[in-house]
Amino acid sequence: MSRVLIIGCGGVASVAIQKCCQNDARFSEICIASRTVSKCDALKAKIEAEGKSKTVITTAAIDADNKDAVLALIRSYQPDAVLNLALPYQDLTIMQACLEGGVHYIDTANYEPEDTDDPEWRAIYEKRCKEIGFTAYFDYSWQWAYKEKFEKAGLTALLGSGFDPGVTQAYCAYAKKHEFDTIDTIDILDCNGGDHGYPFATNFNPEINLREVSAPGSYWENGKWIEIPAMSIKREYDFAEVGQKDMYLLHHEEIESLAKNIPGVNRIRFFMTFGQSYLTHMKCLENVGMLSTTPIMYEGKEIVPIQFLKALLPDPATLGPRTKGKTNIGCIFTGKKDGKEKTYYIYNVCDHEECYKEVESQAISYTTGVPAMCGALMLLTGKWNKPGVYTVEEFDPDPYIEALDKYGLPHQENYAPVLVD
């Protein structure tokens, strides 16, 4: 019996909320809070009309940029934990409110700033680029800085409990615990074989997605970061239940924590699949300045180009009924066990149409929303319970993977995978 405050009511949040309600024995009460409370009310009405869950649902309007407002809601509702499914821009505000309000914290993506031209942030960012060696706007340092404060408060902050990051890190911890004595290389492969029928759309928040994809790629090798121009390393891979796809090396947040938490690993890379239509549209938009985060004046009003583009593109939450195909996301490892060389591949295949039948969502939101619920479940049941700020691979992966198997994301294994060169 637990009470959880869930901030956000977009595509991922909708899945996570419905999954919480499927587990009403644990999630006995939830409050759905968003800037647009009508979305919360509509989802509440939908779940209650189905009549399948005993979870008591309340809703609230919240400005997640306002720490005092979030703290007031926490003190009013008195949850056992806060599940942050808002924007990554709002992570620090919500973390601070949880710290002051005395509740556990869970999110699905690490902090990045909304305004990348802010002088104070820019100075810290440029120092980090020089010292560490990658230039992505997002990194864990801002949230890791809360570690001692959460420890002293006796609270747990679980960072990045989506699929990637999240499940991919659990897969790494599982491989380390059960399959290898030492891990030499990790390749994380994210394949979306779905087709939504639009010439161009993004499967999650366009602002976050396009900033991530258009940034320089990077990987970890021999104890340091190696950065490359965006989309400059391409590979082809034949994914189970999807087929042959082009994939590109990206910078991704879990590489940073895995390099820190998987001792002895020589190389970690992240690849994501993209079709040519997506890449052509993205490059065109980038070339004309539509991916810029720097405000411009237009007819007397200040607008941010990428935010304007977000308003023009299809809402990811509307893609569910028209998306067909499957996703395949997992990790390929090389290393040693009992003195012998070994390879191992652990992955999940998720069907867009099956996801829509269950929760009216496409698989990209489903594969993030389910792990978000499972991460909250780990904290609420005490299976993951140590004060501080942690990423998924720092906990026992077994109960988490068991929960994923149970709630819709079963893992598959291959002991003789084709490796990525």
Q: Which residue has the tokens 């999807």?
A: 242
The per-residue pLDDT for range 203-221, each reduced to its tens digit, is 767 777 777 888 899 999 9
Instruction: Please give the domain boundaries of the chain with CATH numbers for all domains.
Output: 2-159 (3.40.50.720), 167-358 (3.30.360.10)
- 237 Cβ partners below 8 Å, 6+ apart? 189, 191, 244, 245, 247, 271, 418, 420
Lowest mean pLDDT among 37-41, 53-57, 309-313: 309-313
Residue 79: strand, helix, or coil: coil
The per-residue pLDDT for range 156-167, each reduced to its tens digit, is 999 999 999 999
Residue 278's pLDDT is 83
Residue 288 burial (CB < 10 Å; 0-12/13-18/19+)?
Answer: exposed
Phi-psi region of 360 (alpha: psi -120 to 50; beta: other; left: phi over 0): left
State how far the Cα of 273 lies from the Cα of 65, in Å rounded to an integer.
Answer: 33
Round the average pLDDT of the chain to a whole number and report it. 94
Please state whether beta strands 27-34 and 56-61 pair in parallel, antiparallel, or not at all (unpaired): parallel
Residue 203's pLDDT is 72
Tokens matching residue 289: 């300045």
- State pTM to two decimals: 0.94
